[in-house]
Amino acid sequence: MADQNAPDQQPEKPEAPPKNNSTRRLIIIAVVAVLVIGAALFYWRSTFTEDTDDAQVNGNLYQVSSRVSGQVIHVDVEEQQFVHAGDPIAEIDPKDSQVALEQAQANLANAEAEYQQAVVNVPITSIQTSTTIQTSGSDVLGSQASVEQAQAQVQVNKAKVLSAAAQAQKSALDVQRYTPLVAKDVISKQQFDAAVAQAAADEGALEAAKRDVAAQEQTVNLNLQRLAQSRSNQVQSEKNGPKQVAVQQARASAALASIKVAQAKVDQAQLNLSYTRIVAPITGIVSNKSVVVGVNLSVGQSLMTIVPLTDLWVTANFKETQLKQMHKGQEVDIEVDALGGRKFTGKIEEIGGATGSSLSLFPPENATGNYVKVVQRIPVRINFTNLEQENKDFALRIGMSVEPKVRVKD
């Protein structure tokens, strides 16, 4: 029988786990879940962009050089000075260029005068040749008329010869008839002498008529020669006249070409005179200045370098494994290290045609047998899309390091 005074005995219950351990476990699980989700989100989000820290700002460095020779009489800029496009930076003594310009202008005036003279001579030569052709034609007609007139006169003189011959023959027959009659005193001695004298006169007239025919035939021959000469002159005038006009027109064309040559020399002299005043080609910073007052410059001699502040772009050297989803036109966010992470916007303009190592002075030779695969980098050109607004203070400088992030996914 149990002791009634003994305390009541109850069954023992298992101890409950501490609440702190359970809470800690839940927190750890939650943190791990958050980290896993965050890591997954970070990895997923990282696939939206490609970035690199091997990138820098690039631009074209402008080498300012002299376009004419001469002595520098004034320098307007100093090293590291900011200049705008068109600002004067140096001046060369313009006296030599001014003298050359005046000489070129004088040569142009002389060429213009020669051209005016040649132009005036063209119609004059044309009129002269036309007149010569007309005159030669008139000479031909005149010579032809003289020949015809002389030939007609020959026929007339031949008719006179026939008439004189008939008269002489009649007179000779009269003398023959009067001779026996005068011997018989049928006719008087005076009448016979008159018949003899008439026969002699008629014989002389016949000889004179023959001489006139011979002389007129010589006149015909002379007129025929003149006709041939006139025709030859006419042919030469008709043949050479247009050529003379063409020659004068060619002289006018040559004079016009001389004007163009002289005008080109004037233009060149004016350009050379303008080149004596050297101005900044772009807005930028003066660097490597070597020009001073008094130095004699030659054509092409470098004076200074102007570093541009506006026409800039980014050259980013991405790994070849990053280019799979890159293409022209993709948007880029650009952070500039020197400006405290200041951001600029841009877009991919071109992806380089070769890796940087291939374009180096000593490209790798992988066929030697000692080959170790190295991830190559390819230059990518990125243009700024809003540089005027984002770089109003001209804070960007060529060579600054940047970190571009290319949006390869939307």
| Domain span holding position 218 | 97-275
Note the maximum CA span of the chain. Answer: 252
Does residue 30 form part of some domain?
no
At residue 194, what are phi and psi to the nearest 5 degrees?
A: -65, -40
For the CA atoms of the chain, what is the radius of gyration?
60
Does residue 383 form part of some domain?
yes
Query: E strand or H helix at 321, and its extent?
Result: none
- The sign of the torsion formed by the CA atoms of 294, 295, 299, 305 equals negative
Does residue 380 form part of some domain?
yes
Q: What is the CATH number of the domain that holds 347?
A: 2.40.30.170
pLDDT of residue 19: 57
Are 318 and 205 found together in one domain? no
Are 265 and 318 found together in one domain? no
What pLDDT, in 10s, does the model give residues 174-207? 677 767 776 776 677 777 777 778 777 777 777 7
Q: What is the DSSP letter of 276?
A: T
Measured CA to CA, the distance from residue 19 to residue 26 in angstroms comes to 11
Q: Which residues pair with 317 in a beta bridge?
A: 379
Are 103 and 202 found together in one domain? yes
pLDDT of residue 136: 66
Are 111 and 70 found together in one domain? no
pLDDT of residue 6: 46
Of 305, 390, 338, the C-alpha closest to 60 is 305
- Contact by Cβ (8 Å): 262, 281: no
Are 115 and 263 found together in one domain? yes
What pLDDT, in 10s, does the model give residues 314-349? 999 999 988 988 999 999 999 999 998 899 999 999
End-to-end alpha carbon distance in the chain: 88
pLDDT of residue 7: 47
Are 239 and 135 found together in one domain? yes
Q: How many helices (H) and strands (E) does the chain have?
A: 4, 15
Q: What is the CATH number of the domain that holds 287?
A: 2.40.50.100
Query: How many Cβ atoms are within 10 Å of 309's Cβ, its own excluded?
Result: 20
Pairing of strands 55-59, 377-384: unpaired
Of 317, 346, 318, 343, the C-alpha closest to 331 is 346
Low-confidence ranges of the chain (pLDDT < 70): 1-20, 41-47, 125, 128, 132-134, 136-137, 139-140, 143, 150, 157, 174, 178, 182, 185-186, 227, 233-234, 237-241, 243, 368-369, 410
- 218 three-state secondary structure: helix
pLDDT of residue 89: 94
- Contact by Cβ (8 Å): 309, 285: yes
Does residue 22 form part of some domain?
no
- Contact by Cβ (8 Å): 174, 191: no
Does residue 35 form part of some domain?
no
Cα-based angle 12, 14, 19 (whole degrees, multiple of 5): 140
Spell out where 299-359 has E strands: 302-308, 312-319, 331-336, 342-351
Are 103 and 83 found together in one domain? no
Are 176 and 290 found together in one domain? no
Length of the chain: 410
Q: How many domains does the chain have?
A: 3
Does residue 381 form part of some domain?
yes
Does residue 210 form part of some domain?
yes
Query: How many Cβ atoms are within 10 Å of 396's Cβ, its own excluded?
Result: 24
pLDDT of residue 47: 63
- pTM for this prediction: 0.59
| Region class of 327: left (phi > 0), else alpha (psi between -120 and 50), else beta | beta
Measured CA to CA, the distance from residue 111 to residue 265 in angstroms comes to 12
Are 369 and 344 found together in one domain? yes
Cα-based angle 230, 231, 234 (whole degrees, multiple of 5): 85
Are 271 and 152 found together in one domain? yes
Are 119 and 167 found together in one domain? yes
Are 243 and 170 found together in one domain? yes
User: Helix 189-275 crosses helix 95-183 at what angle (to 10 degrees)?
Assistant: 170
